[in-house]
Structures are given as structure tokens and as C-alpha cells.
Structure 1
Amino acid sequence: MFRGVSDRHPWSRYVAIGDSFTEGLGDPDPTVPGGYRGWADRVAEVLANQTDDFAYANLAVRGRLLQQIIDEQVEDALALGPDLITVSAGGNDIIRPGSDPDELASRFDKTVTELRRDGATVVIFTGPDVGMTPVLGLVRGKAAIYNEHLHAIALKHDALVADMWALRVLRDPRMWAPDRLHHSPMGHATIAAAVLDALGVDHELAPFNPEPLAARPWREARAEDLGWAREYLVPWVVRRIRHTSSGDGISPKRPELQTVLEHKSDTP
């Protein structure tokens, strides 16, 4: 498999599948399809600049659970004849009460088997370490178990891993959007670099080397947490109670393979 950084990469048809992480939420950009750029678009832009006749599709839809991704995206992705597939799935399941990381991993294993059937390179993602965040920190143990399964699945199927848990810089608050559920533009740029590194593709995405954040007074942090809960956590809980999803009525932003235009800027 390609690893050199001085040669052109071998991929020409890239399809991304998954949920809001892959759709690009947290990285708004009105100039791109769907209004969100995200790490997958950034990866496609770099790959397109390094080869001729490159095309990219993104079938990810926010709020999708693992089984929905399997049912709605896998066959559509394979029908496009990709030679590169990225898949991130299971995160929305993990944060739900009662979910079983072992059972989720069993289904994900079968999914990767299917995605590899025509020989495409497959990149999968571990979840980031969310131990420092309220609410999501409660599922840190389940996420860690699921991550261990994902490493084993990748080894079994000769897939590549973009290891978000090992990317410790993602623990920085500046890597996250105000909703604390999705990554900021800086976070998406950092993840794009990690994916390209996993592929062995040379790139010029700048690493994030932040200055330490100044300590905030307890009262200020508390007030911010309460504001976040009102604006983002309560609506999320209400959707769970009503069995609705942020992705209801949303279609994939790039349902067909398309050429990738050079973005106005390569900065986050």
C-alpha cells in the first residue's frame, strides 16, 4: 500500500460516509456544497491537487446511527466504485444510554468487510478522548472499549486508522465548536492532516501548536456551562425523548462523485 510522500498517491475516486463528523458540522462555509466544509472536504482538496482526474463524494448525514449508515450509505458508496473510502460510524450510538460497544463493533466489523470487498483502501476513525467534556465524559469508558475494537477491526481487514484518541491536541477547547459536540474549523483542519498522515500523503496543513489558555474564574466557567446546557444540551435531550434527529430531512451534501475545486484558503 502507498506510503511514500514524494510520489503521487494512487487514489482517484474518494467516497466519505458517516455522520455529522464527516459531513463537516462545526466548520461552516457557504461556498461549499451543504454549507459545511469539514475535514473530508479538506482531505479531498489535497488529494485532488496531487493527481489528475480526481473525484469526491460525501454521503454523510448528521445524526445518523451506525445501522442507518449501513442501510443508507454503504451500498450507495460502493456503487460509485471508489478506490478510497473513509468511514466514521458508531459515535452517535456510543453516547446513547444502554448502547453496547461490543455489539456495535460486531456490526462495524461486517461493514468494513463489505467496504473492502472491491479492494478499496478504507480509513476508519477512533473516537477522540472526551474525558474533559461535560456529559460526553460520562461515556469515556464505552468509547475506549469501542476504540480498541476498531483497532482490531482495522488490523483484521488491512484498513488504516486515523487515531483521534491519540491526537491529544483535540482535547484543547479551541478544537471544538460552541456546541462541544462538533469540531471547529481548526479541529477539522487538524483531523484532515491526521487522515493524510495515515494515508502517507504529503501535505502542507499546518500543525496546531497552541499557546496555553489562561485560567478562567470558576464563576465564569460555570456560567458558560449553564449557557451551553440551555442552548445545546437541552435541545439534544428533547430530540432523544421525541425520537427525532438533527438529520431528519437532510440529504447528503455530495451524493455523486464530483471534481474538487481548489478552496480559497488552506487555513482552518
Structure 2
Amino acid sequence: MNSAAFLDPALPFGNDAPGGGHWKRLVSLGDSFTAGLGDPEPGSPGGIRGWADRIAEELAALRADFSYANLAVSGLVLQEIVDLQLERAIALQPDLVTLSAGGNDLVFHRRDPDRLAVDLDAAVAALSATGATVVIFTGPDWGHTPVFGRIRGKVAVFNENIRTIAARHHGVIADLWTMRELSDPRMWDPDRLHFSPLGHHTIAGMVLDTLQVPHTLVPLRPKPLPAPGWRQTRTEDLSWATHYLFPWMAQRLRPHPPESPAAPKRPDPGPVLRVTASPAGSL
């Protein structure tokens, strides 16, 4: 299948966000991005926070009966997210859903973005049929990175499919691709694949703005970085490859027995307490 076969030019591109923060139950589906990897939770050794927790805190401030569940599990591909999380999410009866899936398929498994879109379309259709507002994420633009930049074209094709899916099912697009501020390396974890606390904070603000929800997440503008010389850039790239890229490759090439799926981050809906620590750590 090619993108022309999947995309329908008659469909409008845009967001159908009711706004106002009237939602009372948020359920988030996804992988490590939605789980919040790269954003340690203050006062909780080994815990992670992330953009989904941050928007839940803001929505909880708008109504006392708000609840939040996060079904995300690190490392899952799109089909695993559908198989393990979709039915559970619908059973929780949310009126607001976030879904980010497909990143691991594109980065680590080289899957075809058009075939991925067919699977994603079915999942979004099922979620939308419940009457919930469905927020769908586009992938970020890795064009500035030396390795992940090679899949930039595939990510762009997948993103165009995502825009069509959102239009078809009246979904809301959380558009990471258009966030030029994400080109700042401080938005990213040292592994260059996940976001830093600053990145999660910035993304949470974008999602709330897209949903037209008033919030307290003031944009944080770190001071400009000096342009690195070629020696510094080469040293940083070599360090990253040594500590992250080569171990990832070795892990995927080494045979290992199947493992039981990890537990979701926050499987049951519950109230949300605001975290008062600095939202983005040291800049």
C-alpha cells in the first residue's frame, strides 16, 4: 500500500477540540514516550513523570472528580499497544484519550508507515466510537540528528497518514513534528530518543494549548547554546553511539526468550496530585 492509496484528499485537516477542560477521565495509551521515560519523578526513586502526568495535573485542577489512568508500557510496538491496551482503555470509559504509537515500529523495526497507518486507523476508530475526545500524536522531526534523521522520510509519511486518521475520526492532532523548539538538544534525554524534563514540560503545554485548556505550564526558554565545534560534535556523537546506539543494536540482535508484558504505569483511574518541584530541572 502507498500513502496515496490511504490518504483521502477530500478529508479536511484540522483539530476538533471541544476546549474548556470539561473532561473528567483521561486514559493514555502508548509506549515509553507516554510512560514518561526521561522525566524522573521528584521524590520517587525510579519513578517517571512525563507529559501525560503533567496534563493530568492541570486537568485535575479544573474539576474535583477528575481521574487519570496511564496504560503505557515502554518498548511496545503499535500492534502490542492495540492488543494490550485498547480494550482496557475502552472499558475504563474515558471521555479523553491520548494515543501515541508507531515510533518503535519505525525506529527499530523499519515497518512501512502506510501499513502502520491501517492498524492505527482501526484503533482510533474504536476509541472515537465511544464518544471520547481522542488526541493522536505525530512523530517528531529527527532531521537534525545523524542516525534517526535517516528515517525522517518515513516519519513524515506516517505523520500525513495520522493527519488523515484524525480528520476521518474527528480526532485532535498533537503535532510534535511542527514543534521547532524540539530541535534544542536540551529538550532530549541523553539517549536522543526520549525527551528530557524540559521536553516533557514543553510537550504538555502544547497538548493543553491544542485542547484549548487554560493551564499554568509557562513556556521555559533556556539560554541559547553556543555553536559546538566539529571536535565537540564528533566527541558527543561517539559518546552517544558507545553508550546508547551500540547497546540498542546488540540487544536487538541477541536472541532472548519471550518476556511477559511489563505492568502499565498507572492501570487504574485515580485522582491526581500536582507535583510542586521544578518542572524541567536545571537548565
TM-score (norm 2): 0.88
CA RMSD of aligned residues (A): 1.9
2:143–2:149 CA contact under 8 A, matched in 1: yes
State how far apart, in whole Å, the 2-side matches of 1:220 and 1:83 are: 48
Cα distance, 1:173–1:85 mapped onto 2, change above 3 Å: same
Tell me which residue corresponds to 2:157. 145
Tell me which residue corresponds to 2:12. none
The match for 1:51 among 47, 53, 63 is 63
Q: How far apart are 1:127 and its partner, in Å?
A: 0.5
Deviations 1:189-209 (A, max 9, x none): 000001101111011211133
Structure 1 unaligned regions, length at least 5:
none
Equivalent residue letter for 1:26? G
Question: Stretches of 4+ moved more than 4 A in 1?
Answer: 1-4
Equivalent residue letter for 1:87? L
Identity of aligned residues (%): 54
State how far apart, in whole Å, the 2-side matches of 1:130 and 1:248 are: 31
2:17–2:172 CA contact under 8 A, matched in 1: no
State how far apart, in whole Å, the 1-side matches of 2:45 and 2:85 are: 18
The match for 2:188 among 148, 161, 176 is 176
State how far apart, in whole Å, the 1-side matches of 2:90 and 2:130 are: 8
Q: How many residues align?
A: 264
State how far apart, in whole Å, the 2-side matches of 1:30 and 1:59 are: 21
The match for 2:253 among 241, 245, 250 is 241
1:17–1:86 CA contact under 8 A, matched in 2: yes
Equivalent residue letter for 2:225? L
Q: How far apart are 1:250 and its partner, in Å?
A: 2.7
The match for 1:194 among 183, 189, 206 is 206
Cα distance, 1:243–1:103 mapped onto 2, change above 3 Å: farther
Cα distance, 1:243–1:140 mapped onto 2, change above 3 Å: farther
**Aligned pair 1:116/2:131, yes or no?**
no
**Aligned pair 1:158/2:139, yes or no?**
no
Q: What SS does the aligned partner of 1:35 have? A: coil
Equivalent residue letter for 2:27? V
The match for 1:221 among 229, 233, 237 is 233
Q: How far apart are 1:211 and its partner, in Å?
A: 2.9
1:15–1:56 CA contact under 8 A, matched in 2: yes
1:26–1:36 CA contact under 8 A, matched in 2: yes
Equivalent residue letter for 1:16? S
Deviations 1:88-118 (A, max 9, x none): 0001101135410000001100010011121
State how far apart, in whole Å, the 1-side matches of 2:141 and 2:17 are: 29
Tell me which residue corresponds to 1:258. 270
Cα distance, 1:192–1:219 mapped onto 2, change above 3 Å: same
TM-score (norm 1): 0.93
Tell me which residue corresponds to 1:73. 85
Q: What SS does the aligned partner of 1:95 have? A: helix
1:205–1:266 CA contact under 8 A, matched in 2: no
2:17–2:133 CA contact under 8 A, matched in 1: no
Cα distance, 1:43–1:65 mapped onto 2, change above 3 Å: same
Structure 2 unaligned regions, length at least 5:
1-15
